[in-house]
A and B are shown apart, each in its own frame.
Chain A
Amino acid sequence: MNIGSRELTGGGAFRSKLLLFFLLLLFWIVLTASLALHELVMGAVCSAFVGALTVSLLGRALDPRITPSVLLRLPVFMVRLVWEIIKANIDVARIILNPRLPIDPRIVEYRTYLPGDLPRTVFSDSITLTPGTVTVELRGDLLNVHCLCPYHEEGLAGLEKLVAWLFQVKKPEVEENG
């Protein structure tokens, strides 16, 4: 169910494969911490293998939604997400350390307007990492979120806005009919 993903033409697909290969090679160089020739050759072989495996499994090399502007916004997104995680932890810590354990768990349904697999995956991963919420099911645009306390549900919309900002998705003005 890829509403937003564009069909890639031959040239674009090749460029995306090349980009994946160089990303993997860069990762290899970071891990080995050396620029010796035999290490580079081994890294190139491994990167090509992993890249080919990725393409055969997913049918494409990189999600077309990963654009340079998204990568530029990613550090800001991470900082805000980490801030949310810290707040989440202090909140959960207060609940855990409270002798009466004031929890009132429930599973709520949340319909998101984020299109495509990647923004929804990022959104549900972010939900799991933030205050009192765990995504337990993601089917289409419907998320089942387990909330520890009813007020945790209120944080979802703000998080959705943050992910929408990362991928530059506009919130649809009119409610979808049917």
Chain B
Amino acid sequence: MARDIVAGIFCCTGTFFFILGTTGLLRMPDLFTRLHPSTKCDTLGACSVIVGMAVHNGWSWDLLKLVFIACFLLLSSATCGHAIGRSALRRHIPYWKKKEVKEDGHGA
């Protein structure tokens, strides 16, 4: 019972980070800034879900497979983000810069 609760907490945290990653992807202004939420939040989200599954599953042979999945995910996610950023840089895609904010313009 306690194990189910802990597994549920981890899976919910993972889902929350997935939602954050998607939100960031939609809110960010250009390709380079969009790399940040997609490489970080999605990685932590997926790892958190994997930890949840590992807790739910308990000590078994499948635990090793889950660890492998997490390791490959960490490696491939970072490499993939790097590859996208590098190809964009080599094509001289301009990156978004902060504009000078007028004092009266933004009332938050």
Contact = CB atoms under 8 A, between A and B. Distances in A.
B98 A134 contact: no
Interface residues of A, number: 36
Given A31-B65, A86-B44, A136 B86 contact: yes
Contacts of B40: 85, 88-89, 92, 129
A129 B39 contact: yes
Q: Range of interface residues on chain B?
A: 35 or more
Interface in A60-85: 82, 85
Contact of A136 (B23, B43, B88): B88
Contacts of B17: 89, 93
Of A95, A96, A100, most B-chain CB atoms within 10 Å: A96
- Describe B's contact surface by its main secondary structure: helix
Interface of B: 17, 20, 23-24, 27-28, 32-33, 35-37, 39-41, 43-44, 47, 61, 64-65, 68, 74-75, 77-79, 81-82, 85-86, 88-90, 95-98, 106, 108
21 contacts: A85-B44, A89-B40, A92-B41, A97-B20, A97-B23, A100-B108, A101-B28, A105-B97, A105-B98, A107-B32, A107-B89, A125-B78, A125-B82, A128-B78, A132-B36, A134-B81, A136-B86, A137-B86, A146-B35, A146-B85, A148-B36
